[in-house]
Amino acid sequence: MNCVLGPGNILHDTLLFRVIYDGVGHVLPCWLSYAVAGLAIMLILVNGVLLGAGLFSWVERRLIGRFHNRIGPNRWGPFGSLQPLADLVKLLLKEDLTPKGADRIIFAIVPVAMLAPVVLVMAVVPFAKDTALANLNVGVLYILAVTSITSIAIFMAGWASDNRYAMFGASRGVAVLISYEVPVVMSLLGVVLVAGSMSLADIVSAQTVPFLLVQPLAFFVFFAGTSAELNRTPFDLAEAESELIAGYHIEYSGVKFALIQAAEFGAVLTSSAVMVTLFLSGWSGPFSNYLGWAWFLMKIGVLAFIFSWIRATFPRLRIDQLMAFAWKFLLPLSIINLFATALEVYFLRDSAGTLDTTDLWIMAGINFGLAFACILVFGTLIREKVRPAGPATGATLSPGEAD
Amino acid sequence: MAVQQLTGEDLADKVAAGVPDAVEGMADGVLRVKAPKIADVAGFMKSDAGLDFNFLNSISAVDYISHFEVVYHLTSLTKQHTAIVKTRLDGREDLSLPSVYHLWRGADFQEREIWDLMGISFSGHPNMKRIMLWEGFEGHPLRKDYL
Amino acid sequence: MPIQTEPMTVNIGPQHPSTHGVFRLRVTFDGENILEVEPIFGYLHRGTEKLAEERNYVQIVTLTDRLDYVSSMINNQAYCLAVEDLLDLEVPQRAKYLRTLTAELQRVASHLMGIGFFLQDLGTLGTPLMYAFRSRERILDLFEMLCGARITVSYMRPGGVFFDAPDDFWPALDQFLKDFETEYKEIEQLILENEIVMVRTRGVSVLPLDLAINASVSGPVLRASGLDWDWRKMDPYDAYDRMEFDVPIATGGDNYDRFWVRIQEIHQSIRMVKQCIQQIEPGPIRADVPLILRPKPGAEAYGRVEASKGELAFYLVSDGGISPYRCKVRSPSLINLTVTEHLLVGWKLADMIVTLGSLDINMGEVDR
């Protein structure tokens, strides 16, 4: 115990880091062991996210296979679970093409720029008790900031590819990301208000009642907004297979394509992780002191399954409908949620400014009613706006009336 | 309420009355008209209240080596009858017919196809260019002397 | 200062997942909105009409399979009707019923594919498509029992059909009809009332009836614009004069109605298949025709059917030889494409793909 991390250090709460730091500190000087421990947890994090992405790509393909009434990849490994590995080898061995008119440098940066935010987000998410790699006190803000990189990466991909489909995909992608950022941020403010902190660890410990119940509207908005930011159906306009073939990553092949795919699958997992932390009380559950990671992974699995389910079911929206959905539906909902939460917190908090479990249950009751009412009202309103007065189908016309 | 094909002489008489100097005769249920008058005849058959051929089924061209025949299959969706109109073009080079594009938009691709494959151009068609084959293709492959 | 923009021209196709074959659209976009459209095709032109002039009358049946390769039975039927008209052949009753039955099964298969790809174009990840294909596979299996082929069936011949149905065909057909009821209900539940499908397709790319008639549009596209016109009713061929069925009509003329009409036609086709099973009686399956058919010189025929895409017709001219002097195909897919420009201009890129899907074209038939 020759190297001791000060309690002010942001890595102080990270058990894994402290263990490595202490262990390595017996043989190396403290500054070096700090670096070694940092690199070690980075390695774990990056590879964990990539492995998770690989695993999820297989799980989703199997799941969608079932939704489609077919089998899905089942040849390589038990139940086909080594399929991502085979895909990876195949993609690594493929020729890495760069279009002639492409901006080579930007074109090459894109896969990394896509993958980086996915990995970075995981740094602040607590997997279990005291296991967040960095317990930032501005964790929520950090997540929002880091995920915005994706929009730049998408636009870089579209611009650098020198392909009109890619440009279409990129402009759609950026429009979607920027529009959906607003309701997503608004919905998170409600969560932050209730928890009274922006640190993810604090938010988890504040969830004596899962915020899914306390903030149903926020969860709905966040879930829809995240699906849009992840480019998944019904919001997958930037990729839009039937329209733009592959959208912004149409020109990517080989390793770069593999990285972009890993980033997309990884993003589903990290977004699920963020949602689990913010709304599903994170790693807490029975025996959470020992089995917190199991609860955490299980909750991620449930959310990822829902994402796959939605992806296999819904058709895609059109760009104007997508924008209308963000600005006319999600944004008002998130604002209503924010105001309602602010009022509830103002009236329910005790003198120390905290909310106890009973207060949370009261809020859950009020907010559920509010959520149903709002979704009903705004759903009807937006339906009138978006859907033209349709023709009556099934009516017949005799030939004599024609022309 | 089956659809009837108009094969009688009364069709020829009616068209002859409507468009003078156009009808060559009525044989085997086919109305034969002179080539330069085909658009006028078509226009009359479409606008005449008793005939009202509002639907153009198809336009076909047949190469008889000495001459070409262009066949129009027409249907009236309101009166529920059909008719076949034929016209004859002599020679093999610089063949041209008045287009019926402005009467029936459905003639658009069919006339272009006849130009492409048979080499009969249609005057008055706004976009008379090849449709199946590429621009710069030599010859008209459905002609009997091609290959 | 307003932002300076300029229109962008994009080639959609010839290789594109949603153009239903090698079809190309040269589209000028203003942002997402379509300013100009020019359909360009011919990439699949195989010269079927020229080839037919070199084949004898029976051999051409195999060429017709390859026109609209998702409804080859109906192509066979149209061609055989034309040849029978040319030769004044009388088709035996059993053959007529077998033709009607297979043609209606083929229509179900073709419409299922049309519906599946329409929803695929709408952006579903293939779930409705796979649901539709599940039933379509069963139909193709039935065809395999009949004639050994699934897609390019060449089942019908001038004067009848080539094979009688084997004994195990009828139980298999009954089983299919029983399963199809639940399978089709699943498809309908999945898609028919889906809010996003409604929002995306209702009121989009409306085809007014007068333009539809003027542009010689036929089949479900014409009926979706509000005209009750079906050649099976208007000029009954084969056993259709003994079939009871309704013609589904919609009046909107938009993408949803075109899709809805196809959905409803499947119900009617299944109804007709059931009637065929009830009414069919044992007997000969092919008229007594010589091996080499030689119609009279100068004979002409226009054999017309209501195919799954619209009015499909073969215009045959004979010079007395063993092959037709001229064999013209009136292809519904090609002529239905006449209205693309009207349907697409002013709408968005995403609508364009869906509208193409709702026209349900088949490039084998467009290019021939």
Let me know whether A206 and A355 are in one domain: yes
Let me know whether A184 and A281 are in one domain: yes
Residues of C in contact with B117 (CB under 8 A): 49
Answer whether A395 sits within 8 Å of C251, measured CB to CB: yes
Residue C195 has pLDDT above 50, yes or no: yes
Residues of A in contact with C126 (CB under 8 A): 68
Provide the percentage of residues in chain C whose pLDDT is more than 90.
7
Global pTM reads 0.85
Answer whether A399 sits within 8 Å of B54, measured CB to CB: no
B93 to B120, C12, C232, C292: CA distances (angstroms): 9, 37, 41, 36
Answer whether B80 sits within 8 Å of A399, measured CB to CB: yes
Summarize chain A as % helix, strand, coil (round to 5).
70, 0, 30
A152 to A106, A117, A148, A173, C363: CA distances (angstroms): 11, 11, 7, 10, 40
**What is the rounded average pLDDT of the residues C306-314?**
89
The beta-carbon neighbor of A311 closest among C125, C197, C353 is: C125
Residues of A in contact with C255 (CB under 8 A): none
Strand ranges across the sheet with C24-30: C8-12, C24-30, C33-40
Residue A84 has pLDDT above 60, yes or no: yes
* Per-residue pLDDT tens over the stretch B14-65: 777 777 777 777 777 788 888 888 888 888 888 887 788 888 888 998 888 8
- The ipTM (two decimal places) reads 0.87
Let me know whether A110 and A181 are in one domain: yes
What are B8's two structure tokens? 């009688």
* Per-residue pLDDT tens over the stretch A283-296: 777 777 777 778 88
* Per-residue pLDDT tens over the stretch B78-128: 888 888 888 888 888 888 888 888 888 888 888 888 988 888 888 888 888
Go through the domains of chain B in sequence order and give each one's CATH number: 4-91 (3.30.460.80)
In Å, how far is A170's CA from the nearest CA of chain C?
12
CATH classification of C44-332 is 3.50.50.60, yes or no?
no
C327 to A8, A296, B7, B95, C49: CA distances (angstroms): 88, 69, 23, 21, 6
Answer whether A245 sits within 8 Å of C350, measured CB to CB: no
| Domain-embedded: residue A239 | yes
* Per-residue pLDDT tens over the stretch A299-346: 888 998 998 888 888 888 888 888 888 888 888 888 888 888 888 888
Residue A86 has pLDDT above 50, yes or no: yes
In Å, how far is A161's CA from the nearest CA of chain B?
30
- Cα A196 from Cα A189, distance rounded (Å): 10
Let me know whether A203 and A246 are in one domain: yes
**What is the rounded average pLDDT of the residues A125-144?**
79
Answer whether C254 sits within 8 Å of A398, measured CB to CB: no
Residues of B in contact with A402 (CB under 8 A): 77-78
- Give residue A187's domain range: 94-386
Q: Do B135 and C45 meet the contact criterion of CB atoms below 8 Å apart?
A: no
Let me know whether A12 and A144 are in one domain: no
pLDDT value for A236: 82
Residues of C in contact with B80 (CB under 8 A): 234
Residue C306 has pLDDT above 60, yes or no: yes
Answer whether C249 sits within 8 Å of A317, measured CB to CB: no
In sequence order, the β-bridge partners of residue C28 are C9, C36
- Cα C110 from Cα C94, distance rounded (Å): 24
- Is some CB atom of chain A closer than 8 A to the CB atom of B27? no
In Å, how far is C194's CA from the nearest CA of chain A?
8
Provide the percentage of residues in chain A whose pLDDT is more than 70.
90
**What is the rounded average pLDDT of the residues A115-139?**
80
* Per-residue pLDDT tens over the stretch A256-288: 888 888 888 888 888 898 888 888 887 777 777
**What is the rounded average pLDDT of the residues A108-121?**
88
pLDDT value for A403: 35
Let me know whether A204 and A114 are in one domain: yes
Domain termination residue (choose one: A89, A114, A142): A89
pLDDT value for B27: 77
- Cα A172 from Cα A162, distance rounded (Å): 16
- Is some CB atom of chain A closer than 8 A to the CB atom of C254? yes
Let me know whether A282 and A366 are in one domain: yes
Residue A388 has pLDDT above 60, yes or no: no
What are C140's two structure tokens? 């193709």
One-letter amino acid for residue A54 of the chain: G
Q: In the B/C pair of chains, how many CB contacts fall below 8 A?
A: 84
Residue A361 CB contacts under 8 Å (≥ 6 apart), including other chains: A209
Residue A201 has pLDDT above 60, yes or no: yes
Q: Helices C93-122 & C72-87, crossing angle to 10 degrees?
A: 140
Interface of C with A in 332-351 (CB under 8 A): 348-351
Domain termination residue (choose one: A33, A64, A89): A89
| Domain-embedded: residue A291 | yes
| Domain-embedded: residue A312 | yes
In B, minimum Cα distance to A402 occurs at B78
* Per-residue pLDDT tens over the stretch A213-228: 888 888 888 988 888 8
Let me know whether A294 and A378 are in one domain: yes
∠ at Cα A104 (A99, A109), nearest 5°?
115
Residue C32 has pLDDT above 50, yes or no: yes
Q: Where are the domains of chain C?
A: 44-332
* Per-residue pLDDT tens over the stretch A135-189: 777 888 888 888 888 888 888 888 888 888 888 888 888 888 888 888 988 888 8
| Domain-embedded: residue A392 | no
* Per-residue pLDDT tens over the stretch C311-358: 899 998 988 888 888 888 988 988 888 888 888 888 888 888 888 888
Residue A381 CB contacts under 8 Å (≥ 6 apart), including other chains: A328
| Domain-embedded: residue A24 | yes
**What is the rounded average pLDDT of the residues C166-193?**
87
| Domain-embedded: residue A394 | no
Domain termination residue (choose one: A37, A62, A89): A89
Q: Do B133 and C42 meet the contact criterion of CB atoms below 8 Å apart?
A: yes
Average pLDDT value for chain A: 81
Residue A8 has pLDDT above 80, yes or no: no
Least confident of A8-22, A235-249, C212-226: A8-22
Residue C65 has pLDDT above 80, yes or no: yes
| Domain-embedded: residue A306 | yes
Backbone angles phi, psi at A173, to 5 degrees: -60, -45
Residue A394 has pLDDT above 70, yes or no: no
pLDDT value for A78: 85
pLDDT value for C108: 92
- Cα A259 from Cα A238, distance rounded (Å): 17
pLDDT value for A395: 39
DSSP notation for B44-99:
HHHH-TTT---EEEEEEEEE-SSEEEEEEEEEETTTTEEEEEEEEEESSSSEEEE-
Residue A399 has pLDDT above 50, yes or no: no
Let me know whether A17 and A139 are in one domain: no
Average pLDDT value for chain B: 84
